[in-house]
């Protein structure tokens, strides 16, 4: 049995993880780490602070789906107490990602903006397609999420952009086209963001050429898809010995 301290247990991802844990004989949630305010809005009981339980023996790993600020605090606590740490929080700046890598040199850390196998497969496809299409197609990325998502564009869209940029190092990124008054340049990748309703997560990469268009689309229907990926990553991270920053590339 793998015992989990779940930070953000009453959020959207936290609830999906909790539901999958309920009938599991492999995973157990030892503690739900939540803010008092959010606990008062639920009937799930009071959460606890990670700092008060991090040294307990019934925590094998810390899983965090809170906020950037809380995530960094929980990461520091976990590394200091030699607990593996996993998070899927998005919206980190380059400076914050650098800080995460510094912590990962001292402990086992797993980070991914998306825990879906389908998104990982999409990334693999982009590795191949972008190398073939870079001279003949314009590249656009479109992403849509629910109306409560706070960061834009999504971390997954930026990850897909990064994969494309590796094959096209001279390209630049633009976000929408408001205020521009010039033809599109081949050497740009545009990211467009939509927010509305309860959309779990849609991502589309468009390769637009003359007389044809290739579109690769991934649609997440349920957060249980992400939760299943989280559990695979948890088992993987527990088994690792080296202190470093792991990701979905390592898992698959």
Q: pLDDT by residue (tens digit) across 152-162? A: 999 999 999 99
| Catalytic positions | 145, 149
For the domain 2-111+223-251, what is the CATH code? 3.40.50.720
Which has the closest alpha carbon to 211: 141, 122, 129, 138?
Answer: 138
The SS3 assignment for 173 reads strand
What pairs with residue 207 in β-bridges? 139, 214
Question: Given a cut of 90, is residue 212 above it in pLDDT?
Answer: yes
Q: What is the pLDDT of residue 236?
A: 97
Query: What's the pTM?
Result: 0.85
Q: What is the pLDDT of residue 41?
A: 44
Superfamily of domain 117-220: Dihydrodipicolinate Reductase; domain 2 (3.30.360.10)
d(CA 126, CA 132): 10
What pairs with residue 81 in β-bridges? none
Place of tokens 């527990």: 238
Q: What is the pLDDT of residue 20?
A: 87
d(CA 82, CA 72): 15
Q: pLDDT by residue (tens digit) across 99-154? A: 999 999 999 999 999 999 999 999 999 988 888 887 889 999 999 999 999 999 99
Q: Are 104 and 244 in contact (CB under 8 A)?
A: yes
Q: What is the pLDDT of residue 37?
A: 52
List CB contacts of 152: < 8 A, sequence separation 6 or more: 193, 195
Mean pLDDT, the chain, rounded, equals 90
Q: pLDDT by residue (tens digit) across 178-189? A: 888 899 988 999
Domain ranges of the chain: 2-111+223-251, 117-220
Question: Given a cut of 50, is residue 60 above it in pLDDT?
Answer: yes
Neighbours of 131 (CB within 10 A): 13
Q: Are 108 and 251 in contact (CB under 8 A)?
A: no
């Amino acid at each position: 049995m793998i015992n989990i301290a779940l930070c953000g247990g009453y959020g959207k991802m936290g609830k999906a993880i909790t539901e999958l844990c309920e009938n599991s004989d492999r995973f157990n949630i030892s503690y739900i780490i939540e803010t008092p305010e959010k606990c008062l809005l639920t009937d799930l009981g009071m959460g606890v602070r990670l700092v008060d339980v991090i040294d307990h023996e019934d925590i094998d790993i810390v899983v965090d789906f809170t906020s950037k600020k809380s995530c960094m605090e929980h990461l520091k606590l976990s590394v200091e107490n030699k607990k593996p740490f996993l998070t899927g929080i998005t919206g980190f700046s380059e400076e914050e990602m650098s800080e995460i890598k510094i912590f990962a040199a001292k402990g086992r850390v797993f980070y991914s903006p998306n825990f879906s196998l389908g998104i990982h497969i999409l990334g693999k496809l982009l590795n191949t397609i972008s190398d073939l299409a870079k001279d003949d197609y314009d590249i656009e990325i479109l992403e849509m999420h629910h109306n409560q998502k706070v960061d834009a564009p999504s971390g997954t869209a930026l990850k897909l952009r990064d994969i494309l940029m590796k094959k096209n190092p001279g390209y630049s990124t633009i976000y929408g086209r408001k205020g521009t008054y010039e033809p599109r340049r081949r050497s740009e990748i545009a990211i467009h963001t939509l927010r509305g309703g309860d959309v779990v997560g849609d991502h589309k990469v468009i390769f637009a050429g003359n007389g044809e268009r290739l579109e690769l689309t991934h649609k997440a229907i349920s957060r249980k898809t992400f939760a299943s990926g989280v559990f695979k990553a948890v088992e993987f991270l527990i088994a690792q010995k080296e202190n470093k920053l792991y990701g979905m590339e390592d898992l698959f």
